[in-house]
């Protein structure tokens, strides 16, 4: 069956966030890791989310990878392409949201691209083109201190214009509130004025429903999970997609084996989740310093610790540290080198855990998840029910051997008991 919706996501956990929204809305969704090999047999799906790691790489590489993903999705019949970016619009003046949106616009032949990172369920709203995170503008939120892409301007019209070749307009909330026809009319007017992209205001899910109808009539849109919700509802309403409930019990059924959590996110939410897990399962805290200086020994010791405990229940292994610990390691070894060494270490631990019989695995952190999923050579996931907003249950597809069930958690997502909840939904009792 041809695809209806093709999504190109700029990171793995962001991809599973979007896939979660689609699946929750009743769109049968598959998440692939990178552009799949021609030989990969995928389950029947209405949407495919191609996960890239293109958020923070040089813009020309991000464009090349996104165009390759587009070619694959187009060949499978996708009638609309969504470029999934972060709901906090993570990018710099060099890109990559602008350059990738420009390139996809030319490839799809779109005159104008609606762009909105609004995701009201997680507090991301857009008004007059300004992005709010909770109750503060983006430039006053913690994103102002992001290590890779500090967001210092809440005006997304300006932010996008600085990284785009074309001119950027606005679809204001008054048009959005007036409905899909008003959004389409505004987009047409902006295109006639020579604008190639437009930031679209959205505060409530109902706004995204109107935006979704207007966007679904165009070849391309750029946004986060809120836009995914709007597109899913529009495609189901116009009959292009038949609503199908994801069967959570079936997704994890028959997948036994050991269970583990590997965390490399140092976000406030993940640190709290690890602290809560300490009262629920054995927790090993890795030494980031040793992962840099003696990686093989630190990984081997962690695996030995885990193997002695896995038969009794799930274990959690965390590299995650508090900001002052992270700063100390970064000051000694360099920010990039420390991050990469810790990612290699956690990925090697994930690989060792799977070799030891772990079939149910929770990964915390975008980069951490990316490194582990790549190391495990997982080509694709079937997307199941939601564990927490932005985090679905995933079952591996296209891998030789027994399937596994995973969760890839963005650093800031999930409540304090996230790990126990995720393991519980994987059928792990302890
Ligand atoms: N103790 C530590 N010291 C230094 N770096 C660490 C430490 N623990 C983890 N790291 C590194 O910090 C980075 C955390 O990034 P990651 O993307 O995994 O989490 P996040 O930023 O919280 O998640 P997201 O991108 O989903 O918001 C990784 O590069 C990881 O290797
Ligand atoms: O959109 C979001 O906030 C997330 O899916 C994400 O991309 C976090 O890195």
Distance, CA 318 to ligand 1 centroid (Å)? 10
Longest C-alpha distance within the chain, in Å? 67
- For 122-170, how does the pLDDT look when each residue is reduced to its tens digit (9 = 90+)? 999 999 999 999 999 999 998 887 767 889 999 999 999 999 999 999 9
- How is residue 14 written in tokens? 């962001």
CA–CA separation, 311 vs 298, rounded Å? Answer: 22
Instruction: Look at residue 221 and give its three-state secondary structure.
Output: strand
Half-sphere exposure (Cβ direction) of 282: Cα atoms closer than 13 Å: 15
Burial class of residue 117 (count of CB atoms within 10 Å of its CB; 0-12, 13-18, 19+): buried
- For 9-25, how does the pLDDT look when each residue is reduced to its tens digit (9 = 90+)? 999 999 999 999 999 99
In the chain, % of residues over pLDDT 90? 84
Domain spanning 258-425, CATH class? alpha beta
Distance, CA 44 to ligand 1 centroid (Å)? 34
CA–CA separation, 300 vs 413, rounded Å? Answer: 30
Give domain limits for the chain: 5-237, 258-425
Q: How confident is the model at residue 430 (pLDDT cuts 50, 70, 90)?
A: low
Q: How confident is the model at residue 398 (pLDDT cuts 50, 70, 90)?
A: confident
Q: How confident is the model at residue 252 (pLDDT cuts 50, 70, 90)?
A: confident
Pocket of ligand 1 (CB under 6 A): 13, 264-267, 270, 288, 319-321, 325-326, 329-330, 338-339, 342-343, 365-368, 410-412
Q: Does the pLDDT of residue 2 top 80, yes or no? A: no
CA–CA separation, 395 vs 364, rounded Å? Answer: 17
Q: Enumerate the H helices of 193-294 as residue ranges.
A: 205-216, 225-237, 248-252, 268-277, 288-293
CATH code that applies to domain 5-237: 3.40.50.10840
Q: Does the pLDDT of residue 1 top 80, yes or no? A: no
For helices 295-307 and 335-355, angle between their N-to-C axes, nearest 10 degrees: 40
Cα-trace Rg, the chain: 21
- For 174-233, how does the pLDDT look when each residue is reduced to its tens digit (9 = 90+)? 999 999 999 999 999 999 999 999 999 999 999 999 999 999 999 999 999 999 999 999
Complex ipTM > 0.85: yes
CA–CA separation, 380 vs 395, rounded Å? Answer: 8
pTM, rounded to two decimals: 0.91
For helices 59-75 and 97-108, angle between their N-to-C axes, nearest 10 degrees: 40
Q: What is the mean pLDDT of the chain?
A: 94
pLDDT for the residue 245: 80
Q: Which residue among 87, 316, 338 has the greatest number of ligand 1 atoms within 8 angstroms of its CB, and so is best to mutate?
A: 338
């Amino acid at each position: 069956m041809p695809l209806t919706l093709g999504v190109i996501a700029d990171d793995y956990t962001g991809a599973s966030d979007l896939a979660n929204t689609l699946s929750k809305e009743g769109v049968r969704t598959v998440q692939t890791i990178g552009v799949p090999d021609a030989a990969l047999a995928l389950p029947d799906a209405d949407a495919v989310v191609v996960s890239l790691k293109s958020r923070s790489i040089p813009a020309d590489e991000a464009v090349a990878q996104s165009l390759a993903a587009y070619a694959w999705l187009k060949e499978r019949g996708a009638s609309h392409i969504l470029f999934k970016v972060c709901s906090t619009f993570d990018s710099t003046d060099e890109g990559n949201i602008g350059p990738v949106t420009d390139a996809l616009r030319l490839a799809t032949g779109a005159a104008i691209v609606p762009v909105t990172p609004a995701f009201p369920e997680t507090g991301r709203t857009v008004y007059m083109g300004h992005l709010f995170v909770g109750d503060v503008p983006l430039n006053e939120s913690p994103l102002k201190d992001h290590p890779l892409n500090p967001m210092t301007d809440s005006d997304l019209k300006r932010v996008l214009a600085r990284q785009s070749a074309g001119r950027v307009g606005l679809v204001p909330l008054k048009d959005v509130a007036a409905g899909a026809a008003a959004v389409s009319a505004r987009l047409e007017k902006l295109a006639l004025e020579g604008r190639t992209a437009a930031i679209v205001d959205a505060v409530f899910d109902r706004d995204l429903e109107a935006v979704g109808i207007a966007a679904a009539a165009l070849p391309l849109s750029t946004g986060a999970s809120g836009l995914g919700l709007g597109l899913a509802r529009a495609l189901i309403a116009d009959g292009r997609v038949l609503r199908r409930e994801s069967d959570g019990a079936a997704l994890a059924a028959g997948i036994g084996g050991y269970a583990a959590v590997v965390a490399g996110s140092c976000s406030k939410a993940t640190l709290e989740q690890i602290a809560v897990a300490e009262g629920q399962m054995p927790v090993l805290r890795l030494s980031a310093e040793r992962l840099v200086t003696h990686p093989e020994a630190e990984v081997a010791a962690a695996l030995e610790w885990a193997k002695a405990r896995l038969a009794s229940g799930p274990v959690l292994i965390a590299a995650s540290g508090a900001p002052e610990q992270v700063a100390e390691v970064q000051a000694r070894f360099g920010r990039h080198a420390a991050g990469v060494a810790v990612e290699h270490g956690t990925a090697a631990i994930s690989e060792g855990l799977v070799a030891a019989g772990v079939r149910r695995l929770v990964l915390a952190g975008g980069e951490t998840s990316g490194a582990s999923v790549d190391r495990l050579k997982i080509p694709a996931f079937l997307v199941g029910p939601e564990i927490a907003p932005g985090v679905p249950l995933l079952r591996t597809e296209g891998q030789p051997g027994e399937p596994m069930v995973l969760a890839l958690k963005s650093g800031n997502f999930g409540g304090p008991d996230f790990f126990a909840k995720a393991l519980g939904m994987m059928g792990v009792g302890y």
